[in-house]
Amino acid sequence: MKNRNVLLILVFFLSFLQAYAIDCDEDKSYPDWRSSQGPIRDQDTIGWCYAFTASDLLTDFMNRNPDHRPKKLSNLDFTKKENMVSPMSGAVAVENGVLELSSTMKMNYDIDKTFSYEKVLENNIKLEKSQKDYNETCRNDCQHDCLYSYIHNLDYSHLKCDFFQSRSKDLPEIVKLFKKVEELDKKQRLDIGKYQRITMGGNAELILDYYIRSGFSLESQFPTDNFKAEDRLSQISHEFSLAFGTAKSKEQALCSGYELYKELCPNCTQTFEDIKPILEKSLNPQKSALYELTNNDQFKFNLSKSSKIDIKKFSYQEESELSEKRKNIDEGLTKGIVGIGYDISNILSLNKGGHASTLVGKKCIQGQEHYILRNSWGSQACEAEKKEIILGRIETAASEQEVAKKYSGCMSICNDMPTKIENSFSLFSQDDPKKVLEKKECKNSCYNKNKDELSQKFGTYECDKIGYYFIESEKILNATSSAQYLVPKN
């Protein structure tokens, strides 16, 4: 009887899980904001997913709430790419460490009201000076492990602390300097830790807060397509520094900077005289030309003074209930799109890591609830990632799962194809580009012949023609660690 009760409980539990996974009605109408969104953008290799997410959220909000738009943008069609909020100014501000936190965000993250990034920079200057004084006094013969043990009353008998005798006269001064460096270093780590709690890995909420308080720019001004490769942005930043550092005169430096500005903002109409004051700020080595240009008021639009926007935000722990996440996200979807931070592994990629995207609706597919996800990898990424995941799962599962046996034949043939150049005189093994291409085409052919069945067997997602992902709601909810959306504040 006892075993029967356990069995009944287990059956009930499993049926509950199944009901949760397929809890949708084919005839019911669900929120779907795809038609009111602009084109899917591509962040390429640059890690700005959080900035793209924040920019999509604000673009969608202004599209749905005309009264909250800047006056200059009141008649704009926000579904056109050039009118979408550009992620560049917010992302560059975060990366340059100059994004101040509002009092609300400090309160939300339990950070002291007096904290500011300027104070972090000031403390860093003090730390660098103390380290310099310590190094100059030490003259490279201080034994740091011995000093640390001595100051903290730790056993250092196993260490050869010869310098205690050789530097006995100035040991008190060395100890004093060491303690000062240690104290300032500890404070710096704590302060930077406060900032990084919000900014590391990106934070859509931080960018939204910045846009609402300080303004934003548009794709027409700073088009992300021109700078989606991370190395090009790094090159531009480096070229600014190079131009200012090697120029024979101030005027030459400013002229070089202006040429780079025109590449950065190809549709902007500002003249050299307009840009000159901004570039002059960048002559200070503490300033970033890239930041000064992308975050200058000349290129920003401020929300109307009467516009009051509330950022609804939610943070989840590992033990958070899926029902809580679902309630928050679904409520947000009734008002517009929802931003989420989540673990990307086994949903959109084979790689693990944090990522940010937006959910633009829900859809019932074969009785199972799915969220509609908008990513920032371009319109072709959905099918490409889906294919990569399936091929990866086939290769890892081929020797373990019966379902893979049917396809291991063609995949095995592809995997066994040699790609190396046969050259007995070569010291290094090199790939033959032609053979590499043939192997890739073999895998593609194997995939294409079995694509539909493979998608079903290996539990991936579906894609629409525009590039949106249809992902089982349970997978999204399990992976989600944060969510946010925008609503007008009463």
Question: What does the pLDDT read at residue 53?
Answer: 95
pLDDT per residue as tens digits for the range 123-133? 777 888 888 88
What is the C-alpha to C-alpha distance for residues 371 and 393, in angstroms, rounded to an integer? 23
Residues 167, 188: contact at Cβ < 8 Å? no
Residue 470, token pair as written in the block: 């249809």
Q: How many helices (H) and strands (E) does the chain have?
A: 19, 7
Residues 30, 302: contact at Cβ < 8 Å? no
Between 230 and 363, the higher pLDDT residue: 363
What is the C-alpha to C-alpha distance for residues 257 and 283, in angstroms, rounded to an integer? 10
Question: What does the pLDDT read at residue 462?
Answer: 87
Question: What does the pLDDT read at residue 62?
Answer: 95
Helix H or strand E encompassing 361: strand 354-365
pLDDT per residue as tens digits for the range 34-53? 999 999 998 877 778 889 99
Question: What does the pLDDT read at residue 408?
Answer: 62
The mean of the pLDDT values for the chain is 78
Best-predicted range by mean pLDDT (13-22, 188-197, 218-227, 365-374)? 365-374
Residues 417, 435: contact at Cβ < 8 Å? yes
% of the chain beyond a pLDDT of 70: 75
pLDDT at 217 over 80: yes
pLDDT at 386 over 80: yes
Question: What does the pLDDT read at residue 20?
Answer: 45
Question: What does the pLDDT read at residue 459?
Answer: 67
Predicted confidence band of residue 4 (pLDDT cuts 50, 70, 90): very low
Question: What does the pLDDT read at residue 34?
Answer: 96
Predicted confidence band of residue 357 (pLDDT cuts 50, 70, 90): very high
Question: What does the pLDDT read at residue 233?
Answer: 58
DSSP one-letter code for 196 = H
- Lowest model confidence (mean pLDDT) among 68-72, 86-90, 387-391, 479-483: 387-391
pLDDT per residue as tens digits for the range 271-325? 888 888 877 766 554 456 677 777 777 788 988 766 789 999 888 887 778 899 9
Question: What does the pLDDT read at residue 250?
Answer: 72
Predicted confidence band of residue 369 (pLDDT cuts 50, 70, 90): very high
Residue 395 burial class via C-beta count within 10 angstroms: exposed 0-12, middle 13-18, buried 19 and up: middle
Question: What does the pLDDT read at residue 398?
Answer: 54
- The pLDDT of 258-265, averaged and rounded, is 77
- The pLDDT of 164-190, averaged and rounded, is 85
Question: What does the pLDDT read at residue 324?
Answer: 92
Quick check: pTM over 0.85?
no
Residue 101, token pair as written in the block: 């936190």
Question: What does the pLDDT read at residue 364?
Answer: 94
338 forms beta bridges with 359
Q: Determine how many CB atoms are found less than 10 A away from the CB of residue 271.
A: 9
- The pLDDT of 185-200, averaged and rounded, is 67
pLDDT per residue as tens digits for the range 404-441? 566 666 777 887 788 887 654 555 567 888 888 998 89
pLDDT per residue as tens digits for the range 237-250? 556 666 555 556 67
Between 483 and 149, the higher pLDDT residue: 483
Question: What does the pLDDT read at residue 58?
Answer: 97
Instruction: Give the neighbor-by-neighbor strand order of the sheet with 480-488.
Output: 309-315, 480-488, 338-343, 354-365, 368-374, 469-472, 462-463
- The pLDDT of 371-399, averaged and rounded, is 82
DSSP one-letter code for 201 = T
What is the C-alpha to C-alpha distance for residues 181 and 196, in angstroms, rounded to an integer? 22
- The pLDDT of 349-376, averaged and rounded, is 89
Between 215 and 17, the higher pLDDT residue: 215
pLDDT at 263 over 80: no
What is the C-alpha to C-alpha distance for residues 172 and 212, in angstroms, rounded to an integer? 53
Residue 489 burial class via C-beta count within 10 angstroms: exposed 0-12, middle 13-18, buried 19 and up: exposed
pLDDT at 389 over 90: no
pLDDT at 54 over 90: yes
pLDDT per residue as tens digits for the range 177-189? 889 988 888 887 7
pLDDT at 395 over 80: no
